[in-house]
Structures are given as structure tokens and as C-alpha cells.
């Protein structure tokens, strides 16, 4: 990703329809969400980056709270959302 940002991206200039740029989004996705989810989020972003979308601000979505947690005894219990 860094090679792309240093060598190829300057040739095209600012053409990304979104903020942050797609390459910056990919770096943030990998840093915040890990490899597998980062790849999935990046691919989804690249599919949306086309002339038929208006673009705009599109940050990496925050992690969701887990639906179930394991306590110290090994029991699984659901998490409850605050209303």
C-alpha cells in the first residue's frame, strides 16, 4: 500500500471520490480492524469508488460490540445494548 501511495498515486493526483482517499482508508482499515476485516472493508470501498456514486466522507466503521462474552468461569452470556 505504501509503495502504491509513493509511486503510483502521485501520477493520478487527487481523483478519489471519497475522503479519506481509498489508499488511506485501506491503511486505516488494516490498522484498526486487522488483516481479514481490513481486506474485506478495502474491497468493498474499492467497489463503491466509481463514477456512479457521489462519494463523500467515508471513515472506517467502528468495531461492533460482541453479542456474547465469556466470563472468567468460562460461561457464555449475551451482551445487552443500552437503550
From CA 44, how far away is CA 39, in angstroms rounded?
9
Q: Any idea where the domains of the chain sit in the sequence?
A: 2-61
Residue 83: per-residue pLDDT = 52
Q: Is the pTM of this model over 0.95?
A: no
CB contact at 8 A, 11 and 3: no
Residue 5: per-residue pLDDT = 65
Show pLDDT as tens, one digit a residue, over the chain (83 residues): 677 767 766 666 666 788 888 888 999 999 999 999 999 999 999 898 888 888 889 899 988 777 788 888 888 888 776 65
Amino acid at each position: 500500500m505504501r509503495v502504491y501511495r509513493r509511486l503510483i498515486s502521485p501520477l493520478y493526483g487527487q481523483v478519489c471520490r471519497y475522503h479519506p482517499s481509498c489508499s488511506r482508508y485501506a491503511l486505516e482499515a488494516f490498522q484498526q480492524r486487522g488483516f481479514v476485516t481490513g481486506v474485506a472493508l478495502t474491497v468493498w470501498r474499492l467497489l463503491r469508488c466509481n463514477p456512479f456514486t457521489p462519494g463523500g466522507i467515508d471513515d472506517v466503521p467502528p468495531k461492533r460490540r460482541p453479542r456474547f462474552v465469556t466470563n472468567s468461569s468460562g460461561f457464555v452470556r449475551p451482551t445487552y445494548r443500552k437503550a
